[in-house]
Amino acid sequence: MSERLVGALRAEFGEAILDSDDHRGDHHVTVDKGRLLDVLGHLRHREGCGMLADVVGVDYPDRPERFDVIYYLRSVERPEQIWVRTRVEEGEEVPSATAHWRSADWHEREVYDLFGVPFSGHPDLRRILCHHEFEGHALRKDYPVELGQELQETEKLFSDHDVARAAHRASLAQNPEGQGDEIAATDLLTINLGPSHPAMHGCLRAECLLDGETIVDARAEIGYLHRCFEKEAEDHTWAAVMPYTDRLNYCSPMLNNVIYAEAVEKLIGVEVPERGQVIRVIVSELSRIIDHLVCVGTNLVDMGALTMYWYTFNVREAMYQIIEGLCGSRLTTNYARIGGLSHDLYPGFEEEVREKLKMLEESIHDVVKLAARNRIFLDRAVGVGAISREDAIDFGFTGPALRACGVEYDARKMHPYLGYEDYDFDIPTGEDGDTHARIMVRMAEMIQSKRIIEQALDRLPDGPINVDDASVILPPKEQVYGSIEGVMNQFKLIYEGIQVPAGTAYGFGEGGNGELGFYCISDGTGHPYRIKVRPPCFPIFGAYAHLIRGGMISDAIATLGSLNIIAGELDR
Amino acid sequence: MAIESGQSNSALTTRLQQAVNWGRKYSLWPIPYGTACCAIEFMASVSSYHDLSRYGAELVRFSPRQSDLMIVAGTISYKQAPILKTIYAQMCEPKWVIAMGVCASSGGFYKNYGTLQGTDRVIPTDMYVAGCPPTPENLFHGLMKLQDKIDRDGIVSSEDRHGARARVEG
Ligand code: SF4
């Protein structure tokens, strides 16, 4: 469907569209830098690509126009997406898309931080993942992967000047007539929520200016768990990136494994046999359930409901036992392989899963019964941290947080992969986009995941789990130990890596928190040229300061829990 | 102290040391410094099934002022390092540090521009627990090793114990 967009752009902008290409169904257009904002605005307002889902930087040191800056736009109503690329030289400015989307703020800061591409008209162009004293730009090809830079002191997010301005604004808001007491800057208390705070879920930081318990102003800061996934990926073979994906969203590693494998398979052009696909669906949905259980459980603890925590964590422990049986570890699963899976299911898997799904249903039932009409829970959750549908799209929300605002976007339905079109399931949505709606959507999604798993178990076919292609999948051990071809094959795949043909592909799926995607560029060697993760948490946390401003400090905690931000994925 | 009279100082000190260390090693108050995936396994270690408290480290405190054992669970980035240092400094003496998992011990498989190559680059570290993530059993083993170590310690502050090294590394 997305060709339509390319045609529309050519008709509207003619010469300014320098070039267009189609990488395995992903449509890219290259535009003249001077018309970039017009093109983006046109796509947004006329063509229904309402969401700026990501901005990707790529470095080609041998080209005179060294950097590609690629804007990834998508519609949340139709299965349409397009990548708008512009090319710039070292030091040349790109006009900032913050004019059109608020999500552009953080995405562009990231490109600035890691590639050193400046954006003109950006309101707050600072580093975001690396610390403020970092020198150089880490994702440039000439930056050595191991060159660390120490930091002695943490950056303050509010200057004295900012505090004074915030105090002034707060006074005006309280007494517009100019009567009554002024709030002085010294009345405001600056506190750091995080990055090491028991109530923050991981190392996230929000600096808040408080007037009493009200948050007058807040700023969020990330990068405290920046483990350089994208740089590490360029330093490894395609297959060796898999364990790193475990540690992106460590609450649902299976989903990362599977979606990463899908992305690389799209680039190679192979498809996993049906049994492999069905197993992938099962483990993905189990992982989603675990993710939601952790999120809901800890969120409720934040509101003081410890009982529900035990209910959710008991089932989670039970689910972990399945995962552990399947791949030997609970957290760092490393189960999917490019072209298949590391091994088949264990005997008795099906019965165990069915039994534990029953447990899940009971516990969800219990939690809903305890929460649904619980006065404390409702007071703490209804209307708290609410975001409107338009704002959510503007900020680039996907997943349960977007569906809680009533937008039915789910990658499994809109762009089916792994055969999701053959399963019967619903997309639960909410209305108010608040903490309550987000929790309820997650609860309902677990029931849908359970339905999917049951259907998958019913249809689980016999047959191979891996593609039959010796250039992708490691040979069976008998061959490695028994024949010279087997040894050679194993040796080449391990040392040189899978030879992925040159090209670009964006593989994505529905992660625990929303659209999780891997934008992969191969130059035909055994190593990725560039992998850009589209982490669902990143744009969502980008809206955090907006969500908590003006609210109570305790609500900030409840809101954060319901957004389910996982630092490993956020900072990569 | 009255007890002192008639006895040689050193004999008394040894006994006192034993008594104090016995008390210290079985009443550790851990503060989790959880940053990443290992923190998830730390949660499993303290909750009911595995139960860290069976080994004498019952009360998990989130305030550095109330704790004497810091368990660093997860990757420490350069951006995070100054905060780790501050929180360590806020803990009262005597205090110990366990690096849980390979990331905290040595950077693990993140040998790159963003990751601190082990907590001992910024704070004195007493025990390193291998694993990615370590199983709860592994962590308990590390804790018991630490208890042995505490048993052998003098009644001096960890600043003295680690002073020489900390000074060298600034
Ligand atoms: S040691 Fe492994 S599990 Fe622990 S924080 Fe590091 S990567 Fe995560």
Please state the pTM of the whole predicted model.
0.89
Cis amide leading into A95 (omega within 30): no
| Per-residue confidence (pLDDT) for residue A533, from 0 to 100 | 93
**Chain A touched by B155 (CB under 8 Å):** no
Cis amide leading into A144 (omega within 30): no
Q: Which residues of B touch A317 (CB under 8 A)?
A: 44, 49
**Chain B touched by A227 (CB under 8 Å):** yes
A254 and A115 in a common domain: no
Residue A221 lies in a domain: no
For residue B38 the two structure tokens come to: 């290992």
In a 3-state reduction of DSSP, which class is residue A354?
Answer: helix
Shortest distance between the Cα of A195 and any Cα of chain B, in A, equals: 8
| Per-residue confidence (pLDDT) for residue B168, from 0 to 100 | 39
**Chain A touched by B65 (CB under 8 Å):** no
**Angle in degrees, CA A391, A397, A401, rounded to 5:** 100
Which residue does chain B place closest to A127, by CA atoms?
A: B79
pLDDT at position B6 over 60:
no
Interface test with B, best of A126, A150, A226 (most B CBs within 10 A): A226
Residue having the nearest C-alpha atom to atom 5 of ligand 1: B74
8 Å CB contact of A153 and B82: yes
pLDDT at position B164 over 60:
no
pLDDT at position B169 over 50:
no
In a 3-state reduction of DSSP, which class is residue A153?
Answer: coil
Q: What is the phi-psi region of residue A14: left when phi exceeds 0, alpha when psi lies from -120 to 50, beta otherwise? A: left
Does the C-beta of B74 come closer than 6 Å to ligand 1?
Answer: yes
Residues A128 and A110: beta-carbon distance below 8 Å: yes
Does the C-beta of B36 come closer than 6 Å to ligand 1?
Answer: yes
| Per-residue confidence (pLDDT) for residue A525, from 0 to 100 | 84
Identify which of B35, B84, B115, B132 to mutate to test ligand 1's pocket (most ligand atoms within 8 A of the CB): B132
Does the C-beta of B118 come closer than 6 Å to ligand 1?
Answer: no
Residues 6+ apart with CB under 8 A from A418: A258, A262, A277, A280, A281, A284, A509
Nearest to A568 by CA among A224, A219, A151, A109: A224
Domain count, chain A: 2
Report, as an integer, the average pLDDT of B5-23.
65
The closest-lying atom of ligand 1 relative to the alpha carbon of residue B38 is 4
Q: C-alpha distances in angstroms, A143 versus A235, A521, B112?
A: 12, 19, 11
**Domain that includes residue A269, residue range:** 229-534
Residues B77-127: pLDDT tens digits? 998 899 898 889 888 888 889 999 999 999 888 888 989 998 988 888 889
Cis amide leading into A464 (omega within 30): no
Q: For chain A, what's the residue count? A: 572
Backbone angles phi, psi at A340, to 5 degrees: 160, -135
Residues A69 and A111: beta-carbon distance below 8 Å: yes
Residues A9-37: pLDDT tens digits? 888 878 878 888 888 888 888 988 888 88
| Domain end call among A58, A92, A120 | A120
Listed by number, the residues of chain B in 77-116 with a beta carbon closer than 8 Å to a beta carbon of chain A are 77-84, 87, 109-116
For residue A550 the two structure tokens come to: 């003006």
8 Å CB contact of B36 and A232: no
Q: Which residues of chain A have pLDDT under 70?
A: 1, 176-181, 185, 198-199
| Residue A569: other Cβ atoms inside 10 A | 27
For residue A429 the two structure tokens come to: 């949505």
Separation of alpha carbons A293 and B81, rounded Å:
31
A514 CA from centroid of ligand 1 (Å): 24
**Chain A touched by B67 (CB under 8 Å):** no
Torsion angle defined by CA atoms of residues A542, A547, A552 and A557, in that order, rounded to the nearest 10 degrees: -50
Which residue does chain A place closest to B33, by CA atoms?
A: A196
Residue A159 lies in a domain: no
8 Å CB contact of B114 and A145: no
Does the C-beta of B133 come closer than 6 Å to ligand 1?
Answer: yes
For residue A474 the two structure tokens come to: 């490691």
The closest-lying atom of ligand 1 relative to the alpha carbon of residue A332 is 3
Shortest distance between the Cα of A489 and any Cα of chain B, in A, equals: 26
| Per-residue confidence (pLDDT) for residue A448, from 0 to 100 | 92
Cis amide leading into B94 (omega within 30): yes
Report CA B164 to chain centroid distance, whole Å. 18
Q: Which residues of B touch A293 (CB under 8 A)?
A: none
| Residue A61: other Cβ atoms inside 10 A | 10
Separation of alpha carbons A111 and A56, rounded Å:
7
Q: Give the amino acid at A1.
A: M
A331 CA from centroid of ligand 1 (Å): 10
Residue A185 lies in a domain: no
A510 CA from centroid of ligand 1 (Å): 24
Residues A280-290: pLDDT tens digits? 999 999 999 99
Interface test with B, best of A203, A222, A311, A333 (most B CBs within 10 A): A203
pLDDT band at B165 (very low <50, low <70, confident <90, very high): very low
| Per-residue confidence (pLDDT) for residue B170, from 0 to 100 | 37
| DSSP character at residue A501 | P
Q: Give the amino acid at A202.
A: G
Residue A557 lies in a domain: no
The closest-lying atom of ligand 1 relative to the alpha carbon of residue A568 is 8
pLDDT at position B13 over 70:
no
Separation of alpha carbons A263 and A82, rounded Å:
17
pLDDT at position B63 over 70:
yes
| Domain end call among A120, A155, A180 | A120
Residue A157 lies in a domain: no
Separation of alpha carbons A37 and A29, rounded Å:
14
- Domain harbouring A325, CATH code: 1.10.645.10
Q: Is ipTM beyond 0.90? A: no
B96 CA from centroid of ligand 1 (Å): 21
Residue A395 lies in a domain: yes
- Domain harbouring A68, CATH code: 3.30.460.80
Report CA A507 to chain centroid distance, whole Å. 13
For chains A and B, count residue pairs whose Cβ atoms are closer than 8 Å.
Answer: 112
DSSP assignment string, A7-31:
HHHHHHHGGGEEEEEEETTEEEEEE
pLDDT band at B2 (very low <50, low <70, confident <90, very high): very low
Residue A338 lies in a domain: yes
Residues A219 and A193: beta-carbon distance below 8 Å: no
Residue A287 lies in a domain: yes
Closest partner residue to A331 (CB to CB) among B49, B115, B133 is: B133
| Domain end call among A92, A120, A148 | A120
